[in-house]
Every structure is written in structure tokens, then in C-alpha cells.
A = this chain, B = another copy of it.
């Protein structure tokens, strides 16, 4: 039987609208993938009465409650207190939690403060959930047929801890199979039209716009054979064509690092409007140093000339945002750094700087490689940040296509 789950987010910053709650959507998507059924979501602030009431309500709505936030060292972090009050338990220092906190602080070479000791104050009998990614241990408590899991609100810690401590408990032999297909460069509404009428062998279809990409999720019912799944994935891949870049794989940067490092190839970048964002994205991937050799951020025209020898006349004749400049950047950095591949990006991120001929969002991208240089122009809708992150994505997608 799949479990019925309620997600409870806590934090005054959610009730004042200062923070958009992204944890709940992440948890919901992960739970969906495990076949667990999210019945409802709740958000409570920092006050004890509201917290206890929210926990009680959550436990009425589902047998498993996943609670995020309120495990920090300060006085307005009250989740452990509220859970203890709800379950009628005492609150005392957990030796196990304290040991974990001390060990983490020893590693960091820092002193455990009185405020940190508070983070070991847990409901009596709680199961401690180790936090190897931050200082606040999580915990779980069972009461009246419900189990509540409490995780920190910091998204990175919450995600790691959900995967480490909770995912396996909730997955059942009836868990459906989830296949995640990652696409780049085609809008969600058009992807939906492309998929219309396709035989999906009974799979549920989900779309998720995750800027700069769109993910397509296929959830196959329990018992669907691997062969049947493969056939469906094949049909979807045919329809998606070049926009599909990964099935159950990493993001664009992970793909680039994986593909290039396996081939022993290297990369350098010359970025203008993205100003290092593409390089920084690649460097998120552990092992990037085997591939990513060098980058230049040529934000001013002078730096384009001085760093990569882009001719002043080329810029004067075509403008800094132009195909010739993108080509010169890609080829210039490739030759300077002596890498297999060179990427050049120049564009208008906005809000200023646009014109009728070159509106805000115009980006020229070039990829120079062993058999020549390819170029792509895009006009990207959205604000400054969307333009930049989509430009970075377009560059990496173009590089992957150059290698096919």
C-alpha cells in the first residue's frame, strides 16, 4: 500500500511571504516518484500554538508527515518543542544528537556553543536522523499511528537528508518506475502538443519547467515490464528529437563534464553577458577540473580586445553582440587555452541595451572545436537572469550537439 503523506513547512518567513516555499514542491515531486501519495500540504509559522495545531492537523490528514524548518539554534526554532507537546513527550538532550553535533564541530575546528546544544534537545525517544550536510540533526517521532519526520529547512540539507533517511522507508514494492527525460530549447506548451496522442503504455505524464530546461516525467504503473518501458521511452525520444539530451541522467553541465572527461577532451570559455555563469555551472560538477581549463569574462569591449584579440574593427562593424564577435571569442579562447573546445557567448541581458534590430535577450553563441566552429543566435524572453541562464544552457546544449 502506498503511504499517504502530508508535507508541513514551518517558518515565519513563509507566512510573511518573504520566502517562496520551494521545499514542499521538491518533496512532493520526490514523493510522487516513489509512488507515495501527498494528501495535502500545510505551512505554519514560529508560534507554538500554531505549530502544534499544524502538526495535529497534518497527522489527521495523513499517516506520514514530513516537516521542514525550525531546527536551528535560535529561540524562534521550535519544531522539537512542538512535536514533544503534540506527542505528550518530554524534551531532553539527546546524547546521540549531541555526539553528532560535537563531531561535526570538531571536524570544522569550531567550538560548540550553548545555542548549538539546544539543537540536541529532542523529544524523548525520538529517532535521530544524522545531518552530514549541516549542524542541525533531524529526528522522527511516532504517535497515535502517525509518524512525523523533521528535517532542516535549508534546502540542500533537507534534500540530502530526505534521500538518506526517508526515501527508502516510503518506497514500496509497488513503487512505480519513474523515467525522467530532460529537454532543452523547446517550450513546455509545445512539448505538450508534441506528446499529444502518443501511446504511453499507461504511464502518467508530467511536465516540469525547471529553468533553463523542461523535464518530462513518465511514471509507469507497477508491473510494467522493462521492455514495455523501453518501447515507450523510445517513442517519446523519437518525438523529442534533438531537444532531448538526457534520460535519467544529470543536467547539462553534468553531461558536458561526463562526456568530455570520458573522451579526454578539455574546454575553455569566453563569456560576456553570462559573465562566468556558464563556467561556474560547470564547476559545480565534482571532477570538473579535468575538463574546465580556463575562462575569461570579457564584460567590456576593451577586455574583449585585450584578452582575446577581438579586433576593434570587428566590434565597431558588427557590434559587440554579433556572430563575428561570438566566433572570435570561441576561437580566441580555444587557441589561447589550447583546449579541445572553446565556447564564446555575447548577448544583451537587459533590462537596458536593447534596440529594434537587437532586442533584449539577443544572444550569439559559438562553439569552436576540432572540425570548425558552429554558431547559434537566440532571442530569449524573460528577465536579466532568465536570459543569462538560458544563454548558458544554450551554449552547453550546442556543445553537446557538436559532439554528436
Contacts and interface: CB of A to CB of B under 8 A. Distances in A.
A120 to B, nearest CB: 13
A20 B18 contact: no
A295 B275 contact: yes
B43 A41 contact: yes
Interface string A309-353: 000000000000000000000000000110000000000011110
A35 to B, nearest CB: 12
A54 interface: yes
A12 to B, nearest CB: 6
A44 interface: yes
A209 B297 CA distance: 30
B76 A207 contact: yes
A293 interface: yes
Interface stretch (A25-33, A141-149, A239-247): A25-33
A29 to B, nearest CB: 3
Contacts of A208: 13, 17-19
Interface stretch (A90-98, A363-371, A377-385, A393-401): A377-385
Interface string A19-57: 111101111111110000011111111100010011001
B279 A297 contact: yes
Given A189-B73, A280-B275, A293 B302 contact: yes
A385 B156 contact: yes
B295 A209 contact: no
Given A294-B307, A303-B337, A337-B303, A21 B19 contact: no
A172 to B, nearest CB: 16
One complex includes copies of this chain to the number of 2
Q: Give the residue among A38, A116, A189 with the most B Cβ atoms within 10 A.
A: A189
Contacts of A133: 382-383
Contacts of A379: 108-109
Q: Give the residue among A26, A28, A54, A288 with the most B Cβ atoms within 10 A.
A: A28
A72 B209 contact: yes
Given A18-B207, A206-B16, A388-B283, A297 B299 contact: no
Contact of A296 (B30, B292, B295, B382): B295
A103 B284 CA distance: 38
A190 to B, nearest CB: 7
Given A17-B26, A50-B40, A76-B206, A192 B279 contact: no
A325 B292 CA distance: 19
Contacts of A205: 76
Given A207-B72, A275-B280, A43 B20 contact: no
**The 7 residue pairs across chains A and B that have the minimum distance between CB atoms:** A276-B276, A17-B29, A295-B297, A17-B28, A275-B283, A41-B43, A276-B279
26 contacts: A14-B41, A15-B40, A16-B29, A17-B32, A17-B38, A18-B206, A19-B25, A19-B208, A39-B45, A39-B50, A41-B43, A57-B57, A72-B189, A74-B189, A74-B192, A75-B192, A104-B381, A108-B381, A133-B383, A134-B382, A274-B280, A286-B351, A293-B299, A293-B303, A294-B303, A306-B337
Interface of A: 12-22, 24-32, 38-46, 50, 53-54, 57, 61, 72-76, 104, 107-109, 113-116, 133-134, 154, 156, 178, 188-190, 192-193, 205-209, 211, 269, 271, 273-280, 282-284, 286, 288-289, 292-300, 302-303, 306-307, 336-337, 349-352, 379, 381-386, 388
